[in-house]
Amino acid sequence: MSTGFTVIRDNTPESAIPKGAVVAMGNFDGVHLGHRAVIGAALAMGRARGVPALAVTFEPHPRSFFSPNTPQFRLTDETNKLRLLAATGLAGAVVMTFDKARAGTTAQDFIHHDLIGRLGISGIAVGYDFHFGKGRVGSPSLLVAEAPRLGIEVDVQAHVDIAERPVSSSAIRMALAEGQVDDATTMLGGPWFVTGKVIHGEKRGRDLGYPTANIRLDKHCGLKHGIYAVRVGKAQSKDKGNDKVRFDGVASFGRRPTFDNGAPLLEVFLFDFKGDLYDTVLDVAFISFIREELKFDTIEALIRQMDDDSAKARAALAAAPDAFTQLGVIG
């Protein structure tokens, strides 16, 4: 995350909050092209006014508060959301805790107390479908109606369409659930990625000639089980050094039906790498879907398939843009 990117939380003293800033407000799960249109409007407004542009977002995601027993497949956890927001050029983000008190705050109180009183904003950009406040009464039209009295500028961004379909976090989740990585990449403006620490596994990959870096993803991850071409950023070494290394590879996400059919696990084989990655934090960007997860009758058949998967992954990666340049955050 950029060292010039400031994160403001509920306990941040008001004296540390830049008054007069403009904000882009939303949940920003995935920071996709629709979100980036809202952020771009805030950045333009900030440049015109000569003031910083910030994101206003909520953690945990409001869906998790209102439906705690419903699995929530988040495209980005809080850390990666902030990394992506920092990469857009925003000066910082205001992370508001979404709890019972926040859920019970009326739209008018939120505008007057939080946006005007505490943050002292001079302008705001939102998406056409963003709602806020108790009962979701707050809307873009309410902000527009209140703007003259409040003395703020309001910019409402229309939906962003790709192939006549609106870009949304829900559409991206659906694409990932179906293994449609290319569609997800298009809507996100760069490949979808996850971050996790390499853990010890059963070490079967070593015996197969494919030692893997194993990462346990969030239990609600809705990515389709299967084999993927991936690009990987080594973000943190065991000695906490600053070495940042990038790799191409092939990854399996699923339950390993040939062996144990256990809990879903991401297993990443890095091309042309030898070494110990245990406890290393990796960013894994999904570039291309190769095939569904399969059960093999023999180990020999599995190895032949892994050889074929690796060849297909290398070909897909050779034709793909640099994920690290696209995202500006990996590795």
pLDDT for the residue numbered 208: 84
Query: Strands, E, within 159-280: which ranges?
Result: 161-162, 165-166, 193-197, 213-215, 226-236, 245-254, 265-270
Cα-Cα end-to-end distance for the chain: 11
Strand partners of residue 288:
229
* Number of other residues whose CB lies within 10 A of the CB of residue 236: 18
237, pLDDT greater than 50? no
Q: Name residue, tokens 């996709």.
A: 32
Q: Which residues contact 251 (CB under 8 A, 6 or more apart)?
A: 227, 228, 229, 230, 266, 267, 268, 269, 284, 286
Q: How far apart are CA 43 and CA 88, in angstroms?
A: 9
Q: How far apart are CA 209 and CA 269, in angstroms?
A: 10
Whether cis (ω within 30° of 0) applies to the bond prior to 60 is yes
pLDDT for the residue numbered 239: 46
Pairing of strands 6-8, 92-97: parallel
pLDDT in tens, 84-111: 999 999 999 999 999 999 999 999 999 9
Q: How far apart are CA 43 and CA 90, in angstroms?
A: 7
- Angle made by CA atoms 60, 329, 17, in degrees to the nearest 5: 55
pLDDT in tens, 149-201: 999 999 999 999 998 899 999 999 999 999 999 999 999 999 999 999 999 87
What single DSSP character describes residue 72?
-
pLDDT for the residue numbered 2: 57
pLDDT for the residue numbered 244: 53
- Alpha carbon 84 to chain centroid, angstroms: 7
Mean pLDDT along residues 34-54: 98
Structure tokens at 161: 């369409």
Structure tokens at 192: 């979808």
Q: How far apart are CA 41 and CA 50, in angstroms?
A: 14
Write the burial class of residue 291 (CB in 10 Å: 0-12 exposed, 13-18 middle, 19+ buried).
middle
pLDDT tier, 331 (very low <50, low <70, confident <90, very high otherwise): low
Q: How far apart are CA 38 and CA 108, in angstroms?
A: 22
User: Helix, strand, or coil here: 107?
Assistant: helix
Q: How far apart are CA 274 and CA 98, in angstroms?
A: 44
Domains and CATH numbers, the chain: 6-162 (3.40.50.620), 192-327 (2.40.30.30)
Strand partners of residue 233:
246, 283
pLDDT tier, 243 (very low <50, low <70, confident <90, very high otherwise): low
The region that residue 261 occupies, defined by phi over 0 for left and psi between -120 and 50 for alpha, beta otherwise, is left
Packed helices 169-177 and 181-188: angle between N→C axes, nearest 10 degrees: 160
- Alpha carbon 222 to chain centroid, angstroms: 13
242, pLDDT greater than 50? no
